[in-house]
Structure 1
Amino acid sequence: MKIRFFKINLSLSCLRYWWIVTVFLGCCSLIGRFLPLNRTAVSIGDVTHSASPPIQHRILCWIPISAKSKFRAQLIQKTWGKQCDVLLFLSSQADASIPAIGLPVEDAYSTLWGKTSEGLKYIYENHLNEADWFIKADDDTYVVVDNLRQFLMSHDISLPHFLGSRFAHNRLLKGYFGGGAGYVMTRETIRIFVEHVYNNGFDMCINGHNGEEDSYLAMCLEVFDVIFGDTRDCNGAERFLQLSLHNLYRPFDYQSTLRAFFPSKLTVRH
């Protein structure tokens, strides 16, 4: 009986003071309705728009062409070239119908190195500040520019990057990037080439216009602090395809295995 009596008295005691709590909470609610809002508060809309979207890197696409490949240049203009922020065609002679810029180079396959070196100099003097990345592609190369732009977002554009399909070379410690797949560089890389190689008479690499443009360019840049990057994805698959699909799927092909800078990865599917 004592325990039960204690419980009844405790309940009556709580009810006796409950009206005080109710009055206090009611007063707080009434006062809050007349207080001014906090003017420094950030609204939900402000929070939503405070995070600025990632800056889209600008891409300049430059394609060395010959006087006979006008049709290929027009195809690029109608297809993947539309995705480039700047699109340039560099030839041995100017052609306003494309338009193509004329370079002081003989129009021949053997002078690809000349078109490359003179093309980099032309871009340095006329278009260096119009883009963040500069991709050189052949007139028979197809580039998915949106995928390339997304891949490049993870790279610092202030650094001298050099990217592409990387191959080994018996005279180049860093290897070289195959011209057929296209290679990409930043403004700083172009600046290094023009100011320290071209303007100094190619005293550390190959001078003249004749020769292999991809290995010669790597030879000129490897002595500097240029970053020869790895463009493979997280599974080791190549993003820049220098060879045809037929050769890429032959695991013992000389081009795709013995000259690959990174070990080729054979995937077995069941």
Structure 2
Amino acid sequence: MARRKRFLKVILGILIGIFTSHLFTSGKLASYDMCLSSERKHITPVQLINEENARASNKNLLFVGIMTAAKYLDTRAKAVYDTWGREVPGKVMFYSSEHSYSDHVPLISLPDVDDSYPPQKKSFMMLKHMYDNYVDQYEWFLRADDDVYIRTDRLEELLRSVDSKKTWFIGQTGRGNSEEFGLLSLENDENFCMGGPGVILSRETLKRIAPYVEDCLEHLYTTHEDVELGRCVRRFAGISCTWSYEASDSTSKAREV
């Protein structure tokens, strides 16, 4: 008889525990659902659409191609990828010599390209790869070195203020130093975008020059990679590096619209 009473008490305790647990869990889930419902009430369909559009736009705004070398893949390249490379409103890819390999960064090893300096062939073949694989996916294309730091928020603000459907070649304008005047085969009204700070091309500009990179490589006048890129853009896109007053005028017009 005593055993039977103990057994009944155990069964009763189990039943009470299950019932209490069910009430607690149901109440918690109901409260969680109410919180979600309350949050959803503050988000309108228009806001949801705008958020989705913003995310999609960020994914397709900019493609960044970073020139590097095999010996810098685990140092400079990794540092870029782990810092501002994570904040690019689009995609970042590293370009190095043939047979280069890295476990740390997304890498394209360019066929028949070595790490010799100046990196003229590497630069032009990188642009050709961008054109062949990504030209219809992004509005802007940035050619950068592995030792540059970029404020991606400021860059995004600039690019969104400029009409990407036009031919643009944007960067720090250069014409060479005093010792190079007359030696770079530049006309009086020609310039180039200096490679160090990075060079930006609109999709339309890339479309115009990429099919002719081999021609540009066959007609090099100097050992300066950025000068020769500028010359190639001038020949086949019909533009030079954007002067500061042009960028200011374009930004002002975009803000007015």
Instruction: Tell me the TM-score normalised to structure 1 length.
Output: 0.60
Cα distance per residue 1:183-203 (max 9 Å; x no partner): 1011111111112x226x339
1:64 paired with 2:67, answer yes
| Alignment of 1:176 onto 2:189 | no
Aligned partners of 1:130 and 1:175: how far apart in 2?
29
1:206 corresponds, among 208, 215, 220, to 220
**Is the Cα contact below 8 Å between 2:94 and 2:107 reproduced in 1?**
yes
Structure 2 counterpart of 1:105, from 106, 109, 113: 113
Given that 1:160 and 1:186 are in contact with CA atoms closer than 8 Å, whether structure 2 keeps it comes out as: yes
Which of 93, 98, 107 does residue 88 from structure 1 map onto? 93
* Contact preservation (8 Å) 2:171, 2:194: yes
Q: 1:180 to 1:117 in 2, by over 3 A?
A: same
1:62-103 CA distance string (max 9 Å, x none): 111111111111101110001121111000033141332111
Q: What does residue 128 of structure 1 align with?
A: 135
- Other-structure match for 1:220: 232
Contact between 1:133 and 1:184, CA under 8 Å: does it hold in 2?
A: yes
CA RMSD of aligned residues (A): 3.0
Tell me if the contact between 2:192 and 2:240 (Cα under 8 Å) persists in the aligned partners: no
Distance 1:155 1:140 in 2: 26
Deviations 1:142-198 (A, max 9, x none): 011110110111211111100000012542432111100101011111111112x22
Q: Which amino acid aligns with 1:91?
A: S
**Deviation digits for residues 17-37 of structure 1 (CA, Å, limit 9, x no counterpart):** xxxxxxxxxxxxxxxxxxxxx
Q: Percent identity?
A: 25
Deviations 1:206-242 (A, max 9, x none): 29xx8321000111111333363234786xxxxxxxx
Contact 1:72 1:140 in 2 (8 A): yes
Q: What secondary structure does 2:191 align onto?
A: strand
Find the residue that maps to 1:129 and give its secondary structure: coil
Q: Is the 8 A contact 1:132 1:157 kept in 2?
A: yes
CA–CA distance in structure 1, aligned partners of residues 137 and 144 of structure 2: 18
- Pairwise mapping of residues 242-261 of structure 1 onto structure 2 (< 5 A)? none
Partner of residue 144 from structure 1, selected from 147, 151, 165: 151
- Equivalent residue in structure 1 for 2:202, among 186, 207, 212: 186
TM-score normalised by the chain length of structure 2: 0.63
Is the Cα–Cα contact under 8 Å of residues 191 and 240 in structure 2 kept in the other structure?
no
Could you tell me which runs of 5 or more consecutive residues in structure 1 were left unpaired when the two chains were aligned: 1-44, 235-270
Aligned residue for 2:82?
Answer: 78
1:206 maps to a residue whose letter is L
Q: Which ranges of 4 or more aligned residues in structure 1 deviate by more than 4 Å?
A: 51-57, 231-234
More helix by share: 2
The structure number with the bigger radius of gyration is 1
Who is 1:115 aligned against?
122
Letter in 2 for 1:187: R
Q: Is the 2:195–2:226 contact (alpha carbons within 8 Å) kept by the matching residues of 1?
A: yes
